């Protein structure tokens, strides 16, 4: 199974110079780990500068897109535009975008738009909190079903699912899910996908975990059965953490 390290830089990186230094550290961290697909999603404004002359193994993505291709959308950036400047991946439905107003309908549209542009989509799903009754399973199922409503079987190979429980995002390793907890969700997500598209079509869909992945828990989480890698936020801009997390994969 191919492994993924997806770096979601959010707005942690404030200048092209800082961005270049983290790219360099990430490239260095990949020495001897060429089998890991490493995707950096920087602030889109820095992408062109970062890619200029870059010959290393890192590939690039964007943290969000607007759902339309062109038109009167102040501040919008389409998947096509992102692709033109070298983004191969796009994160869709991150909880921080959902909190700013991306409804399930918007997420569905964005996902469709990204896939139509031929990019790979990293669809984020995750519950806000855990209730004792286990309602969060229903919530995850609904988030998946809604986002994937119009995705064709042909496009599934461009899909990556990132399971990110919101209560763990931005926290420290001790608040992340345990490897057993991650395994349980990977099984549930794969089962839900199989129910939607059929097992044969979804068995290759990578499922990542995100939410407080740090050097302290990367090793144990990487062993979670069926998990293909990580979507990493705050630790993805810290050179030492990057190295340790990529080594763990």
Interface contacts to ligand PGA, rule CB under 6 A: 8, 164, 169-170, 210-213, 231-235
Whether 94 sits among the annotated catalytic residues: the reply is yes
* Helix 239-248 × helix 215-222 angle, to 10°: 10
Closest CB 211 distance from ligand PGA, rounded Å: 5
Long-range contacts, 224-228 (Cβ 8 Å, 24+): 224/179, 224/180, 224/182, 224/183, 224/186, 225/183, 225/186, 226/183, 226/186, 226/187, 226/190, 227/182, 227/183, 227/186, 228/1, 228/2, 228/3, 228/4, 228/160
Name the residue nearer to ligand PGA (CB basis): 117 or 214. Answer: 214
Name the residue nearer to ligand PGA (CB basis): 94 or 113. Answer: 94
The Cα 102–Cα 91 span in angstroms is 13
> Among the options 96, 117, 164, 214, which is catalytic?
164
> Among the options 37, 94, 214, 234, which is catalytic?
94
Contact between 229 and 5 under an 8 Å Cβ cutoff? The reply is yes
Contact between 92 and 110 under an 8 Å Cβ cutoff? The reply is yes
Q: Residues of 143-153 as b/e, b for ≥16 C-beta within 10 angstroms?
A: bbebbbeebee
Closest CB 152 distance from ligand PGA, rounded Å: 27
Name the residue nearer to ligand PGA (CB basis): 120 or 234. Answer: 234
The Cα 174–Cα 180 span in angstroms is 14
The Cα 188–Cα 182 span in angstroms is 10
Name the residue nearer to ligand PGA (CB basis): 44 or 231. Answer: 231
How many other CB atoms sit within 10 Å of the CB of residue 87? Answer: 28
Name the residue nearer to ligand PGA (CB basis): 68 or 175. Answer: 175
Whether 164 sits among the annotated catalytic residues: the reply is yes
Closest CB 113 distance from ligand PGA, rounded Å: 21
- Residue whose C-beta lies closest to ligand PGA: 233
User: Tokens at residue 96, please?
Assistant: 């921080």
Write out the catalytic residue numbers. 94, 164
């Amino acid at each position: 199974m191919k492994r993924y390290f997806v770096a979601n830089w959010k707005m942690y990186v404030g200048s092209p110079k800082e961005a270049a230094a983290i790219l360099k550290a990430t490239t260095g961290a990949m020495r001897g780990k060429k089998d890991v697909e490493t995707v950096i999603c920087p602030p889109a404004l820095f992408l062109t500068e970062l890619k200029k002359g870059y010959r290393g193994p890192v590939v690039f993505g964007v943290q969000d897109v607007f759902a339309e291709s062109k038109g009167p959308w102040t501040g919008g950036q389409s998947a096509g535009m992102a692709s033109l400047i070298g983004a191969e991946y796009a994160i869709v439905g991150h909880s921080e975008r959902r909190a700013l107003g991306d409804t399930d309908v918007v997420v569905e549209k964005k996902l469709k738009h990204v896939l139509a542009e031929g990019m790979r989509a990293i669809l984020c799903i995750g519950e806000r909190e855990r209730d004792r009754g286990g309602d969060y399973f229903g919530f995850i199922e609904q988030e998946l079903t809604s986002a994937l409503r119009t995705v064709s079987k042909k496009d599934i190979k461009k899909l990556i699912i990132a399971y990110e429980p919101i209560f763990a995002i931005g926290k420290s390793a001790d608040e992340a899910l345990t490897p057993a907890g991650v395994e349980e969700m990977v099984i549930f997500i794969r089962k839900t996908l199989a129910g939607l598209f059929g097992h044969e079509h979804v068995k290759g869909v990578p499922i990542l975990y995100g939410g407080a992945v740090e050097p302290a828990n990367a090793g144990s989480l990487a062993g979670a059965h069926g998990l293909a890698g990580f979507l990493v936020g705050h630790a993805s801009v810290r050179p030492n953490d990057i190295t340790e997390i990529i080594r763990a994969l």
